[in-house]
Structure 1
C-alpha cells in the first residue's frame, strides 16, 4: 500500500518512474535510520536522567549537611548567649562585691589612678627618661579597672620620689644620641636636673618625646661650647641651662642669623646694602681727605710767612700775589679763591645725603613688595595658619629695617662732613681776611714776593 502511494505520488508529479525493486529498499533504510536515531536519543536521555538523579541526590546531601550546621550554630549561639548573660551577671556581682569590700577605699583608689595617670604623662615628657627608660610603663595599671595592688602603689610612690630627686641632681650616664646626620651613637651624657642635657664634647641636647631619645640641637647657644667644656673640666662653675626644659633652646633654630635676615630682604635688600656700602665708602674717603686738608692748613698757619700750593689756605693767599691791587681787589680775589676751594671741601656730601634719603624709600618699596606676596599667599592658602602671615610680614619688614640701618649712619656721616666743611671754610675766610686786614698793601707785596 505504501509503495503504491509513493509510486502514485511520483507519477502525479511528473517524475520519472523508478524501478519497483529500489523503492522498498530505500524506505526500509530510512525506517532503519529513524529507529537508530530514536535508540540513540533514548540512550542520551537515560544518561541525562541519571546525571540529574545524581545531582539531585548530591544537593539533598548538601542540604542535609547545611541544615545540620545551621542547627549546630543555633545551638552554639544559644549556649554563648547564656554564657554571656551568666558572665555579665557574675561581673555585676563581682563589681558590687568589690565596691562593698572596698568601701571608702574606692575613692582612694580613684585618686591613686588619677595621680598615676598624671605622673605617667609627666614621666613620658621628662628628661630623666633618658637615664631611666621605660618608667612610664610601670604605671600601666591606670588603664585597668581592677584595684591596684600594693606593689603598684609602691611603684607610684617610688617613681614620684625618683622624679623629684632627678629634678635637683646633675647626673652623668651613657645614652644613645641622635647626631646631626641622623646617626645614633652611644655617648657620655650630662643631665642638669630636668632642664638641660649635654654631651661631654660640648653639644647641648634636646629630648624628643615622640621618639623618646636625645637629639643634638641643630643650633647651639652662642658661646655655649667653651663654657660647657670649662664646666665639665672643673675650670668653671657657670653653665647655661634652659629653665623651660628645652623650649628656648629649640627656638634658637627658628631664630634666623644675620645673613639669613639679609637674605629675607631679597633683591631690594641687597640693593640697599650696596648703596649703603657705597655711601660709607664715599664718606670715609671724604673724611680722610678733609683730615689731610686740615693738617695741611694747620701747618700753613704755623708758617704764615711761607705760602704753599699744597693746602687750601696757601692757595687762597697765593691767589692775590699780583702787584698793584687795592685792598678791596685783594678781598675779592680771596673770596674768589675760597669759592674755588668749596667744591673740594663739599665733595661727596650731596651724594651721601641722597643715599641717606633713598635708602628708607627702597626699604618701603621692599616692604610693599613683601606685603603683596603675603596677601597672595593668604589668597592661595587662607588665614588658617597665623604663622604664615607672621612669617611673611616679618620678611616684608626686613627691607625697612635695612633701609633705616643704612640711612642712619649715612645721615651722621653727612652731618659730620657738613660740619667739618663749614669749619674748613670758616678757617679759610677768617685767616685769609684777618691776614689781609692786619697787613698793609706794601708789606703784603713783600710777603707775597718772598712766598712766590
Structure 2
C-alpha cells in the first residue's frame, strides 16, 4: 500500500527524476515489501498459536464437563440411596416407637408453644438462656430424657416465678439507644421497673425503657417501691402490652402536628383572637373604672373617660336642642371606640370552624388518594388523612367556642356602657330643662 501511494505521489507531482533516484525508489519499495511479508508471517503465526490455545481450552472444558456429569450421576444415585435408607429408618423408628410417637409429637408441640410464651415473657429477662433449651422442638429426632426434663423444669420455673418479686441485674436499652447494665425489679410476669423507678418493656429479648412513662405519680410510686419505702406499684395485667400502647399514644404536640398546615393556621387565628379578647377586656375594665369614678363626680367632668367627654359636650350647648345634638354627636364618637376589636373577634370566631371544615375536606381528599393508590388493606396508610380531618375540626371548634363567649361577654359590657352614656346624656338634658323652667318661673 505504501508503495502504491508513493508511485501515485510521483505521478501526481510529475516531477522529473533522474535514473539514480528511480533506482533508490525501487530499492526502498523492495525493502518495504520484504518488511510487509515478515509482518504478515508473524500475524499468521500468532493466529495459529491462538487457535491451538483455544482448542486446548475447549478440550479441557469438555473434560471438566464430562467429570461434572459423572459426579452428578454419582450424587443422584447417592441421593436416591439416602432416600431409600431414610424411608427404611423412618419406618423402623415408627414401628419401634409405637404409641410413643404421638406422645413425642405432643411434647414437641408443647415445647414450641412454651417457647413462644417464654420469648414474650418478662421472666426471660432474668433467665435469658432458657429458651435455647427448647431447641429440640425443631428437630425430627426423638427428644432425650434430659430435654424432657428441661421442658418440665422450665414450666415449673415459669409458674414459680409468676408469683415472685425478684431483683436482678440486666442490660437495659435506654430511650437514647444506649445499653446499660442496671438493677431491675420484676413483679411476676406483669411489670419490670429499674432502680430509677422507670417502667420497662420486654421486646426482642431485651429490656427497654418506655419512651412515655405512666402519669399520675406512677414513677414516684415505683421509686418508693424500689427503695423499699412504699408498698404500692401499678401493674400491667396485659404483661406489658398496655404500657407499650401507652408509648404509642400521641401527646399534645403530636396531636397538633396531625392537623397539618391548616391546624397551625387555626391555632394562629385562635392566638390572635385571644390576644384581641384580652386586650379588649383590659381596655373595657379600665374604661368602666374611670366611668365609675366619673359618676361619683358628675359635676366635675373629665376628658379621660367617655362619660366625662359626653358631659363636657352636653355642657357646651346653650339651648336643649343644641345640647341634645352635642350629646348625640359625642355618643356617636364614643361608640366606635368602645366597639373597637369586637368585629375582628367575631370574624375570627366565624372563620375558625370554616378552616376546620377546610382541613376536614383536605384530609379526606388525602385519605381517598391513599385508598386509590394502595387500597384499603393497610389502615395506617389512611390514618394521616383521617387524623388531619378530625384534628382540624376539633381545633376549629376549640377556637370558635371560647371566642364566641368572649365576643358575647365583651359585646354585652360594651352595650351596657353605651346605655349608661345615653342615660347620663338624657339626665343632663333633663337637668338643663328643669333649670330653665325654674329660671322662667323665677322671672315671672
- Is TM (by shorter chain) over 0.5? yes
| Residue from 214, 217, 226 that aligns with 2:207 | 214
Q: Indicate yes or no: 2:378 matched with 1:385.
A: yes
Q: After alignment, is 340-349 or 228-237 more displaced?
A: 228-237
CA contact (8 A) 1:173 1:189 kept: yes
Q: Indicate yes or no: 2:245 matched with 1:251.
A: yes
How many angstroms apart in 1 are the aligned matches of 2:267 and 2:187?
A: 44
Equivalent in the alignment of 1:179: 174
SS of 1:201 mapped into structure 2: coil
| Residue from 278, 291, 302 that aligns with 2:285 | 291
| TM-score, normalization by structure 2 | 0.71
Instruction: Kindly state the Cα deviation for residue 358 of structure 1 after the two structures are TM-superposed.
Output: 1.1
How many angstroms apart in 1 are the aligned matches of 2:279 and 2:157?
A: 68
Instruction: Kindly state the Cα deviation for residue 428 of structure 1 after the two structures are TM-superposed.
Output: 2.2
SS of 1:319 mapped into structure 2: helix
| Residue from 108, 120, 127 that aligns with 1:125 | 120
SS of 2:376 mapped into structure 1: coil
| TM-score, normalization by structure 1 | 0.70
Equivalent in the alignment of 1:277: 271
Unaligned runs of 5+ in 2: 1-62, 440-444
Instruction: Kindly state the Cα deviation for residue 283 of structure 1 after the two structures are TM-superposed.
Output: 1.2
How many angstroms apart in 2 are the aligned matches of 1:445 and 1:239?
A: 88
Equivalent in the alignment of 1:37: none
| Residue from 345, 355, 359 that aligns with 2:348 | 355
1:368-447 alignment, distance < 5 Å: 368-434=361-427, 436-437=429-430, 441-442=434-435
Equivalent in the alignment of 1:139: 134
How many angstroms apart in 2 are the aligned matches of 1:165 and 1:420?
A: 72
Instruction: Kindly state the Cα deviation for residue 292 of structure 1 after the two structures are TM-superposed.
Output: 0.8
SS of 1:218 mapped into structure 2: coil
CA contact (8 A) 1:191 1:197 kept: yes
Distance change in 2, residues 1:323/1:253 (3 Å): closer
Larger gyration radius, structure 1 or structure 2: 1
Distance change in 2, residues 1:249/1:84 (3 Å): closer
Equivalent in the alignment of 2:97: 98
Distance change in 2, residues 1:192/1:227 (3 Å): same
CA contact (8 A) 1:323 1:445 kept: no
Unaligned runs of 5+ in 1: 1-61, 447-452
CA contact (8 A) 2:174 2:208 kept: yes
Count of residues paired in the alignment: 370
Distance change in 2, residues 1:164/1:436 (3 Å): farther
Distance change in 2, residues 1:299/1:123 (3 Å): same
Equivalent in the alignment of 2:262: 268
Instruction: Kindly state the Cα deviation for residue 306 of structure 1 after the two structures are TM-superposed.
Output: 2.6
Instruction: Kindly state the Cα deviation for residue 216 of structure 1 after the two structures are TM-superposed.
Output: 2.5
Equivalent in the alignment of 2:111: 116
How many angstroms apart in 2 are the aligned matches of 1:77 and 1:425?
A: 110
Equivalent in the alignment of 2:337: 344
Q: Indicate yes or no: 2:155 matched with 1:160.
A: yes
| Residue from 354, 361, 365 that aligns with 2:358 | 365
CA contact (8 A) 1:321 1:445 kept: no
| Residue from 306, 319, 324 that aligns with 2:300 | 306
Q: After alignment, is 149-158 or 398-407 more displaced?
A: 149-158
Instruction: Kindly state the Cα deviation for residue 108 of structure 1 after the two structures are TM-superposed.
Output: 5.6
CA contact (8 A) 1:120 1:139 kept: yes
SS of 1:423 mapped into structure 2: helix
Q: CA RMSD in A?
A: 3.6
1:198-209 alignment, distance < 5 Å: 198-209=193-204
Show CA shifts across 1:158-190 (max 9, x none): 322322232232221011222334333221122
How many angstroms apart in 2 are the aligned matches of 1:167 and 1:395?
A: 44
